[in-house]
Structure 1
């Protein structure tokens, strides 16, 4: 059965070969994890996402400094000390791969995600009242899974949102609402609202 999906406004400019219309939408850095802009359903694209590949380039810097804002591309502390690039890759893939399975039209598409920044909270910031953000940025490219034809991108996506801190962070941790859980929710909501539609919010899954 053929299922049409919204073409996200953020990729309309790169899809001129399919559509004659161009539209844009900016992802706000200030809105909460539970509020995302929805692409206007001005055009349709019958994509079937058959695979998602995440790349966390080794050229990205990583820091273990317990400062307010380390000067690094990757800051991640909710996994044991180890290969932060691999840990970010695992988190992003675990969130995005099942979310994109809901994009199930007829044109087979591969999605490529190149992480450019993944800056979560240090311990010092998370348990203080210092305002902070979860900075999640990447480039997205879509190609035809069979021909390799470029369908969209690379398009830069910034899903940065405000983080919890102090007593709010302690209460969230106690309830199982970790940084991982909130980042996962942010990523899944973005896929749902940009590529599937608001009705797909029910696809949100809990993260371990």
Structure 2
């Protein structure tokens, strides 16, 4: 599990700026200047959350099955070849941590929280698929928010399932020549996806001041 305090988060964001590939299909929302806005009914108003993210914790359980088989579609929880062969759990951890770190950029006003992500699946392409037919990336995770001071669960865990197209053959080769590697494509997509999830409106009981302008 990796824990990134907010000071380290800011440094990581500055260091991890890559080339700009095509934006992900799920648009990211601007995190600055948000205000709670009730749009629901009298019994279950909806508010736009404002978070002061204190840390990001990513867990890649060692119980997940890793495959190094060079098949078109290995049956496994983790399939990753975008780094040299090594500890795939740590490699996936680093990828998701970087995406989450970018996703929380600007989230410094509001209720202090910790973002917890537990990986369930991380399926990229094998060498055989990457340089022939291509395919799709499949990522599954649970995400939760906890109060940074009390540890109280605020939201989740929510199961997230992400799938998006992965280039193959000549297109993949051309993209890599422009710096759009599998790692870059996945990090950029997950950044937008996670940012959108963290800004998703939450139901709030009437009379609750859990999310307020005072924060």
Deviations 1:148-169 (A, max 9, x none): 1110101011121010011110
Runs of 4+ in 1 over 6 A off after TM superposition: none
Structure 2 gaps of 5+ residues are 1-21, 30-36, 40-46, 201-215
Deviation at 1:196, TM superposition (A): 4.9
Distance (Å, rounded) in 1 between the aligned partners of 2:137 and 2:27: 18
The aligned counterpart of 1:86 is 90
Deviation at 1:38, TM superposition (A): 7.0
**More relative contact order in 1 or in 2 (CA 8 Å, sep 6+)?**
2
TM-score, with length taken from structure 1: 0.73
Distance (Å, rounded) in 2 between the aligned partners of 1:150 and 1:192: 19
Task: State how many pairs are aligned.
Answer: 164
RMSD: 2.0
The aligned counterpart of 2:122 is 118
Which structure has the larger Rg? Answer: 2
Q: Does 1:128 align with 2:128?
A: no
Give the alignment partner of residue 36 of structure 1, picking from 26, 50, 64: 26
The aligned counterpart of 1:175 is 178
TM-score, with length taken from structure 2: 0.71
Q: Check the 8 A contact 1:61/1:73 in 2, yes or no.
A: yes
Q: Check the 8 A contact 2:28/2:192 in 1, yes or no.
A: no
Give the alignment partner of residue 63 of structure 1, picking from 63, 67, 71: 67
Distance (Å, rounded) in 2 between the aligned partners of 1:91 and 1:83: 13
